A and B are shown apart, each in its own frame.
Chain A
Amino acid sequence: MNQHVKNVTPETTDLSRRSFLVGTAATGLVLGYAGVPGIGEALAAAPANFEPSVWYSISPDGLVTVTCGKADMGQHIASTMAQIVCEELGAKWSDMRVNLASNDPKFNDPVLGAQITGGSWSTMMNFEAMSRAGAAGRMALTEAAAAAMGLPPYFKDELVVRDSMVSHPKSKKQMSFADIVKSGKATKTFTPDEIKAIKLKTPDQYTMIGVSVPQLDIPSKTNGTAKYGIDVMIPGMAYGAIVTPPVRFGATVKSVDDSAAKSVPGFIKAVILDDKTQTTSGWVVAVAGTYANAKKAAAALKISYEGGPNAKLSSQSLLDEAKRLQGLDDSGQFFVKDGDPAAALGTAAKVLEAEYTTSINIHAPMEPMNATAEFKGDILHIYSGNQFATRSGAIAAGAAGIDPKFVVMHQMWLGGGFGRRLDADMMVPAVQAAKAVGKPVKVIYTRENDMTMDFSRPLTYQKVKAGVDGDGKLVALSHDVVSAWPTARWGIPDFLTPSVDKKGPLDSFTVNGSDFFYTVPNHHVRAIKNEMAHNATPSGQLRSVAPGWTFWAVESMIDEIAAATGKDPAQYRISLLDGAGKNDGGAQRLRNTLLAAMGLAGYGTKKLPKGEGMGVACVSSQERATASWTACVAHVAVAPSGEVTVKKLTVATDVGTQVHPDNIRAQVEGAALWGLSLAMYEKATLKDGGIEQTNFDSYRPLRMSQMPEVAVAVIANGEKATGVGEPAVTVVAPAIGNAIFNASGARVRALPITAEAVKGAMKA
Chain B
Amino acid sequence: MPTLTINGRSMSVDAANDTPLLWAIREQLQMTGTKFGCGAGLCGACTVHVNGEAVRSCQTMVGDVAGKKITTIEGLSAKGDHPLQKAWIAEQVPQCGYCQSGQIMQAASLLAKNANPTKEEVVAHMDGNLCRCMTYSRIQKAIMRAATEMRTASAAGNERRPT
Contacts and interface: CB of A to CB of B under 8 A. Distances in A.
Q: Real complex partners, A and B? A: yes
Interface of A: 73-76, 212, 214-215, 217-228, 230-231, 233, 239, 265, 290-292, 364-368, 413-418, 444, 446-448, 662-663, 666-667, 669-670, 673-674, 677, 695-697, 701-705, 707, 710
Contact of B19 (A76, A220, A292): A292
B92 A696 contact: no
B123 A74 contact: no
B63 interface: no
Given A222-B85, A670-B134, 13 more contacts: A74-B133, A218-B97, A221-B94, A223-B73, A230-B35, A368-B37, A447-B39, A669-B134, A670-B95, A695-B38, A695-B39, A696-B40, A701-B132
Contacts of A75: 95
Given A218-B92, A705-B127, A290 B15 contact: yes
A416 to B, nearest CB: 5
A331 B153 CA distance: 69
A73 B127 contact: no
Nearest to B72: A224
B96 to A, nearest CB: 3
Contact of A74 (B72, B88, B96): B96
Contacts of B94: 74, 217-218, 221-222
B101 A233 contact: no
B35 A415 contact: yes
B85 A223 contact: yes
B54 interface: no
Contact of B80 (A219, A231, A707): A219
A230 B36 contact: yes
Contacts of A228: 35, 98
Given A366-B43, A696-B130, A710-B137, A227 B80 contact: no
B42 A697 contact: yes
B10 to A, nearest CB: 20
Nearest to A217: B97
Interface of B: 15-16, 19-20, 23-24, 26-28, 30-40, 42-43, 45, 72-74, 76, 80, 85, 88-89, 92-101, 104, 123-124, 126-127, 129-140
Contact of B100 (A212, A221, A669): A221
Contacts of B26: 231
5 contacts: A74-B96, A218-B93, A228-B98, A366-B43, A705-B123
Majority secondary structure, A binding face: loop
B39 A416 contact: no
B45 A223 contact: no
A576 to B, nearest CB: 31
B72 A366 contact: no
B134 A674 contact: yes
A215 B94 CA distance: 10
Given A368-B36, A416-B133, A707-B137, A292 B23 contact: yes
B26 to A, nearest CB: 8
A261 to B, nearest CB: 15
Nearest to A415: B98
A366 B32 contact: no
B27 A290 contact: yes
Which of B27, B94, B96, B127 is the most central at the interface, judged by chain A CB atoms within 10 Å of its CB? B96
Contact of B74 (A223, A673, A674, A677): A223
Contacts of A444: 36
Contacts of A291: 23, 27
B98 A701 contact: no
Give 10 closest A-B pairs by Cβ, nearest first.
Answer: A224-B33, A221-B97, A415-B98, A74-B96, A74-B95, A223-B80, A673-B134, A231-B32, A221-B94, A224-B73
Contacts of B45: 366
A215 B88 CA distance: 12
A74 B74 CA distance: 21
Contacts of A221: 94, 97, 100
Contact of A666 (B30, B33, B74, B135): B135
A147 B33 CA distance: 48
A366 B101 contact: no
Nearest to A725: B95
Which of B80, B94, B100, B104 is the most central at the interface, judged by chain A CB atoms within 10 Å of its CB? B94
Given A366-B45, A696-B130, A224 B19 contact: no
A218 B37 CA distance: 20
Contacts of A231: 26, 32
B120 to A, nearest CB: 9
A76 B92 CA distance: 11
